[in-house]
Amino acid sequence: MAEKRVNDLGRDPIGPLLLRLALPTVTAQLVNALYNIVDRMYIGHIQGVGDLALTGLGVCFPVIMFVSAVSALVGMGGASRAVVRMGEGKHDLAESILGNCTMLLILLSAAVTAVFLLIQEPMLYLFGATEETIGYATDYLTIYLLGTIFVELSLGLNYFITSQGFSTTAMATVIIGAVINIVLDPVFIFGFGMGVQGAALATVIAQAVSAVWVVRFLVGKRTQLRIQRRYFRLRWGVLAPVLALGVSPFIMQSTESLVNIAFNSSLKLYGGNPAVGAMTICSSVMQVFSMLFQGLAQGAQPIIGFNYGTGNLDRVKRTFRLLFVSALIFSFVSWGAIQLFPGVFVALFNDEPELVEIATWTLRLYTGCLFMMGIQFACQQTFVALGQAKISLFLALLRKIILLIPLIYILPNFFNDKVFAVFLAEPAADFLAAATTGTLFCLTLPRILRRRAEQLGHPGESGTGTNV
């Protein structure tokens, strides 16, 4: 319990507390991104076929993102609900949320594995695979899908560790797995000559170890919320609010799958395998920075959610302000690094001249509005922490479904360079979504806090201080 005493969500100074919670979660998200990023780095450098193997792995990305999205649907939604219940002093209800979420993750893992194994080859062709890349894609995905349950448990249940303030333990979850993955990748890929199959096997083994680590912690003595068999029986009254809140991060991640399908299919039409390979590199780099933003927001979520539950609304506002400023600075620094040194990022994945040339300029274009992503993540994840399921759902749909996917198909009608037009869709959608999210947040937050103050019987508390 030592870590919990250090992180008092209701009383510790917000700056140091956010730093203690955010550093481990940012580190955890960065390391978590390495699971798939490291695979691509090694695969992209396989002698003679690295560019095709990398492209084949890229078309598997929608499935990988969907598997992660399921863990967010259950885990992030459940953990956000549980921490509010803890703030309200309803410990049994918080534990029943954890038990129901654990069983649901197991059941969904089995369903996802079965369905995707049955349809994987036609699905991968739909996602942008060609005759040259389909073999690499199926080799990787078959093994990866067999480890779905480990992905769901390690990612999904880790949210419950973070939400209690055990951010260092949550960080250890992904560091343990990532280190194993990084060590095993070259052994299986090059040492045993397994190629992409070796990369998938290394990832599954790493996720399995992480899953064991998470489950052992949540049945141990240090955790406040404990997995108990008596809560395994699924109850709709418990899961409905969890899924209502979790649907926002689920859509944020699962629509990434739809986005990749739209990108890959369009780029295969206009630019062939090199364009799809460049997209794999661009999405990989963006994934790293997106997960860093998400890690920063997750560090603030327990503070915001807990104090919203207890009614300490001034603390909620001060935490958000610090999160917002930090995320904005971070997004500008990230954008500047990519715009100044795109070749450095591209070289991590491949050194084939044709692929490097197209990936360098497309990466600059693709991340053109990355400097605004801090606004998007800070505001949207705060809505999640406050339990605002409907607003979170709308914002999740806005960027990917309402804006980005239509722009992928619309913009090529207005440009001679079709590949340029497809990549332009990303920064255009990022700008419009961030501007809308920030505006909606400024208009909505005062009303949310005022309503909460009225529920708690002290309506004057929100006062003029609701301005953020």
Q: Would you state the pLDDT for residue 364?
A: 95
pLDDT in tens, the chain (468 residues): 344 445 677 777 788 888 877 777 777 667 766 666 777 778 877 776 767 887 787 788 889 889 988 998 999 889 988 888 887 888 899 999 999 999 999 999 999 999 999 999 999 998 888 888 899 999 999 999 999 999 999 999 998 998 887 877 887 887 898 889 889 989 998 888 888 899 899 999 999 999 999 999 999 888 888 999 899 899 998 999 999 888 877 877 777 778 888 998 899 889 888 888 888 889 888 878 887 787 788 788 888 888 887 888 888 889 899 999 989 998 999 999 999 999 899 888 877 788 888 999 999 999 999 999 889 888 988 888 887 877 877 887 888 889 999 999 999 999 999 999 999 999 999 999 999 999 999 998 888 888 888 887 765 555 434 344
Query: Is residue 269 within 8 Å of 109, Cβ to Cβ?
Result: no
In the chain, % helix, strand, coil (3-state, to 5) comes to 85, 0, 15
Residue with token string 């038990």: 99
User: Helix/strand/coil (H, E, C) string of 168-190?
Assistant: HHHHHHHHHHHHHHHHHHHHHHH
Q: Would you state the pLDDT for residue 313?
A: 86
CA nearest to 154, candidates 169, 139, 165, 164: 169
Q: Would you state the pLDDT for residue 366?
A: 95
Cα distances from 466 to residues 9, 314, 424, 461, in angstroms, run 20, 8, 37, 9
Cα distances from 201 to residues 54, 93, 146, 148, 290, in angstroms, run 16, 38, 10, 12, 25
Neighbours of 28 (CB within 10 A): 27
In angstroms, the CA 151 to CA 310 distance is 33
Assigned token pair, 430? 């990022």
Assigned token pair, 372? 């605004």
Query: Is residue 297 within 8 Å of 319, Cβ to Cβ?
Result: no
DSSP string for residues in 53-91: HHHHHHTTHHHHHHHHHHHHHHHHHHHHHHHHHHHTT-H
> In this prediction, what percent of the chain has a pLDDT beyond 90?
37
Give the dihedral of Cα atoms 303, 305, 306, 308; nearest 10 deg: 110
* Mean of all residue pLDDT scores within the chain: 85
CA nearest to 309, candidates 20, 81, 74: 81
**3 state DSSP class of 194:** coil
In angstroms, the CA 29 to CA 403 distance is 26
Domain definitions of the chain by residue range: 2-466
**3 state DSSP class of 311:** coil
In angstroms, the CA 200 to CA 190 distance is 13
In angstroms, the CA 173 to CA 151 distance is 12
In angstroms, the CA 54 to CA 35 distance is 15
Cα distances from 384 to residues 73, 257, 301, in angstroms, run 12, 21, 8
In angstroms, the CA 273 to CA 276 distance is 5
Beta carbons within 8 Å of 104's beta carbon, 6+ residues apart: 74, 234, 239
Beta carbons within 8 Å of 432's beta carbon, 6+ residues apart: 403
DSSP string for residues in 17-31: HHHHHHHHHHHHHHH
Its pTM stands at: 0.71
DSSP string for residues in 108-173: HHHHHHHHHHHHHHHHHHHTT--TTTHHHHHHHHHHHHHTHHHHHHHHHHHHHHHHTT-HHHHHHH
In angstroms, the CA 131 to CA 134 distance is 6
In angstroms, the CA 25 to CA 389 distance is 23
In angstroms, the CA 376 to CA 430 distance is 8
In angstroms, the CA 308 to CA 453 distance is 10
Q: Would you state the pLDDT for residue 459?
A: 57
In angstroms, the CA 301 to CA 9 distance is 10
In angstroms, the CA 223 to CA 438 distance is 36
Residue with token string 């990108």: 263
Helix (H) / strand (E) containing 438: helix 418-455
Helices assigned H by DSSP within 311-372? 313-340, 342-347, 353-366
Q: Would you state the pLDDT for residue 58?
A: 78
In angstroms, the CA 327 to CA 329 distance is 6
